[in-house]
A = this chain, B = another copy of it.
């Protein structure tokens, strides 16, 4: 495939090789900011999913949300676990605090429901493995909600790398900073290590981590990390993190994430023969700019804004309807948690930590 071909029909869904009938009826579990502002609109716009049930700790306050999106049922967490209105949905999207993912995912799987679960899958490798096991034992689809994997710029970048347009990959730089307190209160669960499993690394750093693994199609074998917190309200988690992934090929990925810096994101991949730079890959709301250099050729592309959350839910629905295994599966989610646990060990010890 020539480089130029990549830019023809840039937003194509290469994964959509048939057109299944019907939709997957979703219960959205956890109605926080991301669910209200991104997931529910994305599902509403999607072809293969629809929301029929909201699961929330505040049913009264959530009814307005349900009305806005024309969603028939609102249940609380006890009702969800008891199976209230369970015949109204086929799958669950879990967007609760990370430490509760296992409870709701396993409950859903045990009732034969398919699961799309926010990243990280859980707050420990053991608990994340519990979700993977529960879904495998129940024979249901499990997808980790890595929305970037359905984002056209990232998919096209993987194709370019796979087709050798950059030669051998040498070095990656990935950065994602987002000032958490602009949109969340200081008592956000994201700042509670028991509920979140970590700080900026777990919530933001996982984007460059997972996207690098996705594009390079290989897992890191070592990691070094440093974390820093300036104090309250970030005292119990990493406010800032810098980590360096090492791959068996000799390639490295230099990544950073911050809860308390100017909003910014970038991904740059340099190989022996070329380079790809993506401005704002992780923010999700900025029209995406991409520069590709290959030998003496240079192309700049400013992408049509694509709602990668809609893409993500359409991909999940498509996988369920066609019986396809999603690429961001449970194992993909486990691989990132392995790297995250190794990163925190490295930050504690000041040493490179091997990742098995």
Chain A residues packing against B (C-beta within 8 Å): 166-167, 170-171, 173, 175, 177, 179, 224, 226, 228, 230, 240, 242, 244, 246, 250, 252, 254-256, 258, 260-262, 264, 266, 268, 270-275, 277, 293, 350-352
* Contact, CB under 8 Å: B262 / A271: yes
Q: In the bound complex, how far is the Cα of B349 from the Cα of A350, in angstroms?
A: 11
Q: In the bound complex, how far is the Cα of B270 from the Cα of A277, in angstroms?
A: 17
Which residues does chain B contribute within 8 Å of A351, judged by CB atoms? 350-352
Nearest 7 pairs of A and B residues by beta carbon: A228-B250, A254-B254, A242-B252, A350-B352, A170-B261, A171-B256, A264-B275
Which residues does chain B contribute within 8 Å of A250, judged by CB atoms? 228, 230, 240
| Cβ-closest chain B residue relative to A172 | B256
A239 CB to closest chain B CB (Å) equals 8
A171/B270 contact (C-beta < 8 A), A240-B250, A250-B230, A352-B351 known? no
* Contact, CB under 8 Å: B254 / A244: yes
A215 CB to closest chain B CB (Å) equals 16
A26 CB to closest chain B CB (Å) equals 36
* Contact, CB under 8 Å: B352 / A242: no
Task: State the copy count for this chain.
Answer: 2
Which residues does chain B contribute within 8 Å of A258, judged by CB atoms? 170-171, 270
Q: In the bound complex, how far is the Cα of B177 from the Cα of A274, in angstroms?
A: 11
Q: In the bound complex, how far is the Cα of B350 from the Cα of A246, in angstroms?
A: 11
Which residues does chain B contribute within 8 Å of A270, judged by CB atoms? 175, 177, 256, 258, 261-262, 264
Which residues does chain B contribute within 8 Å of A273, judged by CB atoms? 262
Q: In the bound complex, how far is the Cα of B318 from the Cα of A348, in angstroms?
A: 49
* Contact, CB under 8 Å: B264 / A266: no
Q: In the bound complex, how far is the Cα of B177 from the Cα of A275, in angstroms?
A: 10
18 contacts between A and B (CB under 8 A): A170-B240, A170-B260, A171-B240, A171-B256, A173-B254, A224-B226, A226-B244, A228-B250, A240-B252, A242-B244, A242-B254, A244-B244, A258-B270, A261-B271, A261-B272, A262-B273, A262-B274, A264-B293
A250 CB to closest chain B CB (Å) equals 4
Which residues does chain B contribute within 8 Å of A240, judged by CB atoms? 170-171, 250, 252
A209 CB to closest chain B CB (Å) equals 14
Q: Which residue of A240, A262, A268, A277 has the most chain B CB atoms within 10 A of its CB atom?
A: A262
Given contacts A171-B258, A177-B270, A351-B351, 19 further A-B contacts (CB under 8 A): A170-B258, A171-B175, A173-B173, A224-B226, A226-B352, A240-B252, A242-B254, A252-B256, A254-B255, A254-B256, A260-B272, A261-B270, A261-B271, A262-B273, A262-B274, A266-B268, A350-B351, A350-B352, A351-B352
A149 CB to closest chain B CB (Å) equals 23
A275 CB to closest chain B CB (Å) equals 5
Q: In the bound complex, how far is the Cα of B224 from the Cα of A292, in angstroms?
A: 30
A138 CB to closest chain B CB (Å) equals 42
Q: In the bound complex, how far is the Cα of B266 from the Cα of A175, in angstroms?
A: 13
A101 CB to closest chain B CB (Å) equals 29
Which residues does chain B contribute within 8 Å of A272, judged by CB atoms? 179, 260-262
Cβ 8 A contact of A177, one of B170, B177, B228, B230? B170
